[in-house]
Amino acid sequence: MKPKPTKEQYEFFKSVYDEHRDRIKALESRAQLYFTIQSLYFGFVVLKLSDIYGAHDGAKLPGFFAIFQVVVALFLAFALTCTLFAVRIQRYETASDLRDTLQEIVQGSTNEQFYGRRIVDYMVAAETISDVNLRAAKSLRIACWLTILAVATHLVFVMCSASIWEAQNAPFLGNVILNICLAAAVAFLIASENRK
């Protein structure tokens, strides 16, 4: 005799499905935070580093410092792309089609048949959502590392330019402190959020 599906089994598969749906919300929330941080930081890099580079007429910076700006901007642009990729509209599996479910009830399906079909529906939907969540999580992890690389490159730029400006007696301390504080804050936010 074949075992019949029970309401408890149905509730278990429904709870697994609900966990995956909750994970979607958590990933979307993380992606929104990343996007906000990355876009603000990108704007800062584009505006502020250009100011630092061009504001010190007396300071002759080597041409390779322009490469630092481009590299930081590229890391952030790729990070933003990965973040957007993580939150793009994706095909999610719904747990059940209400019209089909209603047809089953009208046609007189038993509770065991109903629970058995819903268990399969929840299992298939949970597997599909799990795959989507894994892809989104991977994209966000890549975005996090690209942002950290941008921060590290930014700090290298600030440290190298600080030594050159200091040697040429150019006023730069305020900009250096601001850049270091911003880079540290971004790195801290991304790292702390990535641990969740």
**What are 60-104's pLDDT values in tens digits?**
555 666 677 778 888 888 988 888 888 876 666 667 676 776 677
CA distance 27 to 33: 10
Provide mean pLDDT across the span 106-115: 76
Query: What DSSP string describes 14-42?
Result: HHHHHHHHHHHHHHHHHHHHHHHHHHHHH
Mean pLDDT of 30-40: 87
pLDDT reported for residue 88: 79
**Average pLDDT, stretch 37-51?**
76
Report percent pLDDT > 70 for the chain: 64
- What is residue 70's predicted lDDT score, i.e. its pLDDT? 78
Rounded to whole angstroms, how far apart are CA atoms 131 and 90?
11
- pLDDT for 172 equals 57
* Average pLDDT estimate for 100-125: 77
Say what the pTM is: 0.73
Which whole number is the average pLDDT over 176-195?
Answer: 66
- pLDDT value at residue 191: 66
Average of per-residue pLDDT values in the chain: 76
Return left, alpha or beta for 94; rule: phi > 0 is left, psi -120 to 50 is alpha, else beta.
beta
What Å distances lie between residue 127 and 20, 79, 136, 170, CA to CA? 9, 27, 14, 60
pLDDT per residue as tens digits for the range 131-183: 888 988 899 889 888 888 888 887 777 777 766 656 555 555 556 666 666 67
Q: Distance between CA atoms of 96 and 119, rounded to whole angstroms? A: 10
Predicted confidence (pLDDT) at residue 124 exceeds the cutoff of 80: yes
Distances (CA, A) of 170 to 30, 158, 173: 40, 14, 9
The residue assigned the tokens 């790729």 is 78
CA dist., res. 27 & res. 101, Å (int):
30
Amino acid identity, position 36 = T
Q: Cα–Cα distance between 117 and 3 in angstroms, integer?
A: 14
